[in-house]
Structure 1
Amino acid sequence: MLSPSDLLHLPYTPDLTEGGIAHALRSLPYLLGNERPYDRIRRMVAGVAAELAFRRHLSAQDIPFEVNNSAPFSDSERYTVSLGGRRCNLESFFISNRAQAIGMRRDPSMLLGAPALVASDHHPLEDSSDHDLYLFAFISGLVAASQSDLGRVAETRQPLHLTHILPPEWRRPAAWRPFGSLTLKSETTTEITVEISGQDAELKFLMQEVSLPPQKRVTIANNFHSITALHARQIPAARLGIHSPSLGRTHVIPPLEWRNIWVYGMEIYLAGYITRAEFRRRASPIPIDSKVFQYSRTKAKNMAVPVSGLKPMHELLARAKYQAAK
């Protein structure tokens, strides 16, 4: 049984959010569905932040590890850590409810009563071994998603990252061909800088920065074959439009259609670990629409074991360090 002292605390620093956003932007082409998944992006940012913090901790403790690309051309394109030849699948949970996040900071032991969840469609991975591990991370933090929250963030000069995800016909065009020239125009009264994210002909991530003078069209040459998102360096006070002659479409973004995907992280806790074989043996199903610590209602089928029944992280790390020294 885990005790509160077994929870591994990792500091959350702003550069972890920056790394998470960089990863999320590269992953946008692989996100499923036609919705504009800003909440999902924030969860991805927090999850990548936990992975980066874990690697940072391993390096600081002189624990050798490998980083492997576990899922090329997939939803997440995650790079997973391997310890002693065993892949560590980090299952992360972003706790952004203010009361819960503050509660975690005051009393981390509350995590011992949570379930260690694995989505049912994540568990039977064909390229995984029964000796591979599940690690469970809880990230507490806040978001500034509403317009009032965004205003307070701007007033206090806290970081933000304003993003607008383009519709499916821009993100996944029916014909895979170059967009050619693109024309952008901002109706703001001051110059604004935007970053365009997308993919080139070989599906490689592509980003281009453009400065838009007030109320003037700017036409740029580019190698984009898809455009997934725009990022505004400043809060736009008026509409911004982008036109593709090749696509035959113009997309206009009202000022209220930008979303802040910055995660204001507070704490990261690695609760513990379990082998895939033991998880399969012990796990119980969690039906859809269940209320659990992590979610007001689950949206997918999950399997779970109690967090309190995981093995402590310090044992895993001590073993990895000992084996590397042999």
Structure 2
Amino acid sequence: MISKNDFIRIPYTPDLSTGGIAYACRSLPHTYNRMGGSNTKRMRRIVGGIAVELAFRRYLGEHQIPFDVKGATPFTDPDKYDVSLGGRRCDVKSFMLTRKSQINELKRDLGLLLGASALIPSDQFATKSHRESDIYIFAFLTGLLASSQKDMAKANDAGNPLHLIHTLPKDWAKPEHWRSLGKLALKSDCEETLTVELGGQDAERKFLSKTITLKPRERCETEATFHTLAYVHVDKMPSARIGIHSPEKDETYLITPHDWGNIWVYGMSVVLAGYLTRSEFRKKAREIPAGSRVYQYNRTKTKNLGVPVRELKPLHQLFEKVKQHTSS
């Protein structure tokens, strides 16, 4: 059992969003959309999740808590752990809280998180690759999003960062037949010059990105040979449409100003709530059907296993054990 005094609050910094965005873009062709919704929503969730993991690692480093990195998480296996504490796998499960009313309530009383559920998707928990001694750490991220056109405009007017992205359909991003898209050519109907980043895969299925300067109404051809094109990122909101032509597909794909999404997460704080080993979680957990209301979601999108946050164990106990394990 834990109390709110056991929670660890970590201030949020913009570089956490930057790191999350880099990972989300590289992993886009490989991630499983367990929660449903658009690719942009999925990328925002990934940005938030990676931001929490980076904040967690930073906390460990700043407090001299020894940890190992088992190599960067492969983009082809986003559920794979990459941090080890005391020789045990450590899997951070985080939940993003973006409702202003909920965030304000937590500012007044962080103890409200004790009533939340520590969730693990049932299909994920059922995987055979985990040991019973593995550690699950549960965390929350409070922050705002600017996902609608109106909110994006407000954020832009206020000088807040945007990361504008458009994800391409399956026949561009995950085609049935593996072949080159040819030298992609871009043209903009905008009055302004844009910096455009294209992201996808090369012939060996490795991540490939190319940044170009796209001037108004000028055709610009890329030298990079993409086999898939997963996303396009622009440095500012385009005022008109942008076209991308693939000579091999003999097709031009058009992106209108309303087709851009913003995946920047305006984080406020990360709260590390508590932990359980996989064995302890299994004993305490109950099934939470899809569509259930929990503190962090109006309706869960998938079937989960859940344990009340108040039944987690304090992280300071784990960190002391890790320090003792390392010094012995």
- 2: CA distance between counterparts of 1:155 and 1:237? 15
- 2: CA distance between counterparts of 1:280 and 1:210? 50
The answer to whether the aligner puts 1:87 opposite 2:89 as a matched pair is yes
1:192-228 superposed Cα distances (whole Å, 9 cap, x missing partner): 1110011112221111001111011111221211110
Match of 1:108 in 2: 110
Match of 1:50 in 2: 52
- Whether the aligned pair in 1 keeps the contact of 2:199 and 2:232 (CA below 8 Å) is yes
User: TM-score, normalising length from structure 1?
Assistant: 0.96
- Whether the aligned pair in 1 keeps the contact of 2:81 and 2:91 (CA below 8 Å) is no
- Whether the aligned pair in 1 keeps the contact of 2:118 and 2:309 (CA below 8 Å) is yes
- Whether the aligned pair in 1 keeps the contact of 2:81 and 2:90 (CA below 8 Å) is no
Match of 1:286 among 272, 285, 288: 288
Match of 2:301 in 1: 299
Q: Which amino acid aligns with 1:173?
A: P
Q: Which amino acid aligns with 1:189?
A: E
- Whether the aligned pair in 2 keeps the contact of 1:94 and 1:140 (CA below 8 Å) is yes
- 2: CA distance between counterparts of 1:221 and 1:77? 34
In the TM superposition, what is the alpha-carbon distance from 1:71 to its structure 2 partner? Answer: 6.3
Match of 1:197 among 193, 196, 199: 199
- Whether the aligned pair in 2 keeps the contact of 1:27 and 1:77 (CA below 8 Å) is no
Match of 1:170 among 172, 178, 187: 172
- 2: CA distance between counterparts of 1:246 and 1:101? 49
In structure 2, stretches of 5+ residues that fail to align are none
1:80-127 superposed Cα distances (whole Å, 9 cap, x missing partner): 211011111111101111211222233211100111111101112212
1:239-279 superposed Cα distances (whole Å, 9 cap, x missing partner): 00101011222110000110010000011111100010111
1:171-208 superposed Cα distances (whole Å, 9 cap, x missing partner): 01222122221110010012111100111122211110
Match of 2:156 in 1: 154
- 2: CA distance between counterparts of 1:125 and 1:286? 18
Matches within 5 A, 1:305-316: 305-316=307-318
| RMSD of aligned alpha carbons | 1.6
> Residues 71, 48 of structure 1: CA spacing in aligned structure 2 closer, same or farther, 3 A cutoff?
closer
User: TM-score, normalising length from structure 2?
Assistant: 0.96
**Aligned positions, number:** 326
> Residues 241, 79 of structure 1: CA spacing in aligned structure 2 closer, same or farther, 3 A cutoff?
farther
Identity %: 47
In structure 1, stretches of 5+ residues that fail to align are none
Q: 3-state SS of the aligned residue for 2:131?
A: coil
The answer to whether the aligner puts 1:21 opposite 2:16 as a matched pair is no
- Whether the aligned pair in 2 keeps the contact of 1:172 and 1:226 (CA below 8 Å) is yes
Match of 2:98 among 96, 99, 107: 96
> Residues 232, 164 of structure 1: CA spacing in aligned structure 2 closer, same or farther, 3 A cutoff?
same
Q: 3-state SS of the aligned residue for 2:82?
A: strand
In the TM superposition, what is the alpha-carbon distance from 1:78 to its structure 2 partner? Answer: 4.9
Match of 1:130 in 2: 132
